[in-house]
Amino acid sequence: MDIPRKKSTAKKNFKRVTLAILIIGLVAGVSVGVSRLKPAAPSVERATVWIDTVKQGSMLRQVRGIGTLVPEETRWIAAATSGRVERILVKPGAVVSPGTVLVELSNPELAREVLDAEWEVKAAQADYTKLRVEIETQDLSQQAAAASVQADYSQAKLQAETNEELAKQGLISDLTLKLSKVKANELNLRHEIEQKRLGIKDEAANAQLAARKAQLEQKIALYEFKRTQMESLKVRAGVEGVVQQVPIEVGQQVTPGLNLARIANPTRLKAELKIAETQAKDIQIGQKTSVDTRNGIISANVIRIDPAVKNGTVTVDVALEGELPKGARPDLSVDGTIEIERLENIFYVGRPTFGQEQNLVGLFKLEPDGTHAVRVQVKLGRSSVNTIEIKEGLKPGDQVILSDMSAWDSFDRVKLN
């Protein structure tokens, strides 16, 4: 009969416990070590990102906007009177001169009014002539009467003087002398009255003729106005240029003031640029601009800034300088770049796809090995079309990723493959 060996069993149990403790400790240590390890950096294809180097020097600030070429001088030709469109003689694109007839209108009522006004002028002229003849006749009659009174007065005066000499000689009585003197005085008074009537006759005649002449001139003016309206039924361009629009149709009834055609001078164009409201705050009159017509670049300068914001943009007018390239015409789409200022001795880099000027953004900066990039906080300054000022966070020579890295927002380090 075998007897159990207790010492050997206890020894085995001790080894097993010790081994279990070691295994548990090893697992705990590995777990702690693994928990302290940083997560592996995600990989990014180098060819899919835009990398630029921070530079130091001068940076030209610019803003860019799209726009169109528009004529500096545009004129709407409006109807001067009401009428019906009979003929449209030009189409958009036609070259016209001031005397070119654009549209012919008709207005039978106006034609009748012109005829009536013409006959009224003729009647008024006849009345004026009649009055002038009557006044001349009255004038001659009055002059004859005055001359007769003057002759009678002269005769009475001579008779009175003769009677006075005869009375001194006692050849006539005193009564006869007195009667001759009374008659001479009476004719003298009548002579003075006739002379006064002749004096005011011209004033009265002139007043009558002036009143009648005013009526005649009023009739003439009305006739000329009606005739001008009649002539305006043939609507003329009035200026040199190219017809852009003719927004009417044959048979259409038009009213005074209705726009019939738009004419522009195609040799004098300007560009209307739409600048984002966030970039328009530094634009000023006179700043240099370059306009790309896709068939050449034209130098220009800012001449007007719209005070209002529409649809998030500000309209800026720039005057073109020099000869226009071929193909430049109204409504042509163009790109404009306005020079704001030149910044000297600053840090700058290509403009990232995210982040606005004067903001703090996170950019991935390449490490010296060129394989990894770590996120750094960068304070941006003033911006241009393609570049932006760096105020803090980077130095010249640093390489940063400017592409959109929002897919890696949860990582502070990436690896470039």
pLDDT tens per residue across all 417 residues of the chain: 445 554 455 566 666 767 777 777 676 665 555 455 455 678 888 888 999 999 999 999 999 999 999 988 888 999 999 999 999 999 998 999 999 999 999 999 999 999 999 999 999 999 988 888 887 777 777 777 777 777 777 777 777 777 777 777 777 777 777 777 777 777 777 777 777 777 677 777 788 888 888 999 999 999 999 999 999 999 999 888 899 899 999 999 999 999 999 998 887 889 999 999 888 888 999 999 999 998 889 999 999 999 999 999 999 999 998 888 888 888 899 999 999 999 999 999 998 888 788 889 999 999 988 889 999 999 999 888 889 999 999 999 999 999 988 888 888 899 988
Strands (E), 72-127: 74-78, 83-88, 95-96, 101-106
User: 399-401 and 51-53: which strand pairing?
Assistant: antiparallel
φ/ψ (deg, to 5) at 285 = -60, 135
Alpha carbon distance 83, 247 (integer Å): 15
Amino acid 43 reads S
Residue with tokens 């220009």: 300
- Rounded CA-CA distance 294/337 in Å is 13
pLDDT score of 69: 92
pLDDT of residue 34: 46
What phi and psi, each to the nearest 5 degrees, are found at residue 256?
-55, 135
Q: What pLDDT does 32 receive? A: 52
* pLDDT of amino acid 115: 93
Q: What is the pLDDT of residue 29?
A: 63
